[in-house]
Structure 1
């Protein structure tokens, strides 16, 4: 791929975020996230089993001020930075992966106001989302391109089915991407926002997977849905600043997987410390004093610490990239995307391994359904398949060996 723009977008984007999250800001939102996570952890297993749309959990996010975290203060929001939002995702994931996913996608979907909307339209979008405390779901799965957006007067009509629409069944609004079919703008991809109750929009509620059960990720069917000009955010093109959407969601995944690993290790530690005897062949008095188990826990803690250090660096770098606005270049994007791909690789592997092997530390009794230790593994095993991590390894390797840059897509 050559580092040139497509020419599809002529606006000069201005970022509503400047600078980066400082220590006081990070401390504030880490505390808010931890308070929310503590509430979620209290009945995470019971809620997972009930498998109901997480309206109550979304209200909890609102109550702790997390929904409007990224909305600039001048538009009625909290005025925080992306590094704070990414820490929120990480902390929530240690307690409830489903709600962490909802928060991650919400932040990126809400952030498309800055990425896709023209500067003169952003204030109205930000004010409305802040006033309504909207949770943003999405219906953009790019490997399921079954939507048809056809011109209809001054607007469009939308028809088709979109699977894996995270947050759709609880989102106040749903952001949708679709290519125009017919007319002078045929093939142009638009991003637009519909309220969940729009006529012709049908929530199928068919999300029935191993993990992430409360992520509200069912399919949505659109039957002759009216899309008005006021619903349209903008065009999805390759203007560099607008393409920060994908590195952003991939970075959120890295923080999410890290959080799951931290949560699984913390739960394993709690179980291990609660075991007052020791293995019959051990000379230690308790399992926690046994070097065999100490070694495993030490390995997990060390690898998690390394991933955490990388994530913290990249969270700050994403703030710095976002702040550039129109000055953010395709060269900047290529370098940032590779660094985030590196995080995606190691966070996936550490997260899956810790959530799996923690049972080696906690023993057969921890496989009881009443313990719920499997929740961490089920969640990360499900979500880590979102896009193949092997392709992230190839992305990193091709860059390292040949300086190659992957094509810009909603996965790269």
Structure 2
């Protein structure tokens, strides 16, 4: 679903400025690692149970991670996007379903700043989010048929369905995008918020996929749901700052993939160190001393370190773009999107390759049910199909050759 063109936003201030210092990054990284350590205790069992991750969401709330990006003066963490993406990467080393849940939460809540037309509207939503420690899900899948949002008096009525609605069943609220027919927003795509349990909202328990099983990415159906003016954040525009949300979600993807590669390598190394005998043709006594095994880990670890550095650079560049606020130009917005597209290409291919090839170093016994090494590959293979990687390569190549930027959409 493309954004409609309308008047620029008039929000006067942006809550994020400058860059994270090392103290901030270290502080929240430590919190994220504590959460990851808790998730690690039963990550395999929770994946197999495939239950709606209410306990995991509560863990994110209790840790303070859900309000990490919110302004400190309103009671939030006061951190930067670079820090938020680092947190997503750390969680994804252990449980990328929950890394995805949190990454989408950050971007979904980001609608408050990117789409709110005034500071008053923005602060009202931020205060509610912080006070209630909301987890934000979404229902915006652009490849599904559009939802029907029809004016009825001063309100609207919403009907239709959306698949792949990440965090919807576990979220305290979900952000929904729909084209308005009639009323105040006639002809505009409106971003609005529905609290969990709103009458007419049906959460369909159909998220039973190969991986990312705890991301709560099920279908949501809307049966004549009443949408009031108080539910609306604002209308979507093609203003450069407002459209930074889409590169942001792609940047979250890149950090999820890097985290998956890091987690798979760490888990594989743990298994390899525990093996007592090398292959019978090897001159080494132990698997960890076999030169072929060392070479494989050396290759995977080096590639992962390189892509991780690319992720950190892109995350910092994103904060630079954010700091520009509504002064951000379309060209500047396009360049940050290309930088993130490069990361998407490199990290997606890294994750699917590293989580697969690590089995070459751990042997057939590591494919036994319950070992858990397969979780990384299943998650990487599932999420890397979110949008075709060839089109990200096309974006990068078209820009390199012709300085051509792709049309704005919820994927670019």
TM bucket by the smaller chain?
over 0.9
TM-score (norm 1): 0.97
The residue that corresponds to 1:19 in the other structure is: 18
Contact residue 15 and residue 324 of structure 1 kept, 8 A: no
1:205-244 map, 5 Å: 205-244=205-244
1:145 Cα deviation from its structure 2 partner: 2.7
Tell me by how many angstroms 1:237 deviates: 1.2
The CA deviation at 1:184 is: 7.1
Matches within 5 A, 1:38-53: 38-53=37-52
**Deviation sequence 1:1-58 (CA, Å, 0-9, x none):** xxxx944435255311111110000000110000000111111000000110000001
In 2: Cα distance, 1:108 partner to 1:182 partner = 28
User: In structure 1, what is the equivalent of residue 61 of structure 2?
Assistant: 62
Residue 110 of structure 1: aligned partner: 109
119-128 or 30-39: bigger deviation: 119-128
Cα gap change, 1:63 to 1:106, in 2 (>3 Å): same
8 Å CA contact 2:146–2:179 kept in 1: the answer is: no
Write the distance in 2 (CA, Å) between the matches of 1:214 and 1:12: 35
Structure 2, unmatched stretches of 5+, are none
Matched, 1:258 2:258: yes
- Please state if 1:204 is matched with 2:208: no
Alignment of 1:7-406 (within 5 A): 7-12=6-11, 14-118=13-117, 119-182=119-182, 185-406=185-406
Q: 1:395 touches 1:406 (CA, 8 Å); kept in 2?
A: yes
Q: Secondary structure at the match of 1:16?
A: coil
**Deviating more after overlay: 111-120 vs 395-404:** 111-120
More divergent stretch after superposition (5-14 vs 233-242): 5-14
Q: Distance between the aligned counterparts of 1:232 and 1:178, measured in 2?
A: 11
Q: After the TM superposition, which parts of structure 1 deviate over 2 Å for at least 4 consecutive aligned residues?
A: 5-14, 181-187
Q: Tell me whether 167-176 or 12-21 shows the greater mean CA deviation.
A: 12-21
Kept after mapping to 2: 8 A contact 1:190/1:236: yes
Judge conservation of contact 2:9–2:115 (CA < 8 Å) in 1.
no
1:120 Cα shift? 2.2
Please say if residues 201 and 223 of structure 1, whose CA atoms lie closer than 8 Å, have aligned partners that are also in contact.
yes
In the alignment, the residues of structure 2 paired with residue 213 and residue 292 of structure 1 have an alpha-carbon distance, to the nearest angstrom, of 34
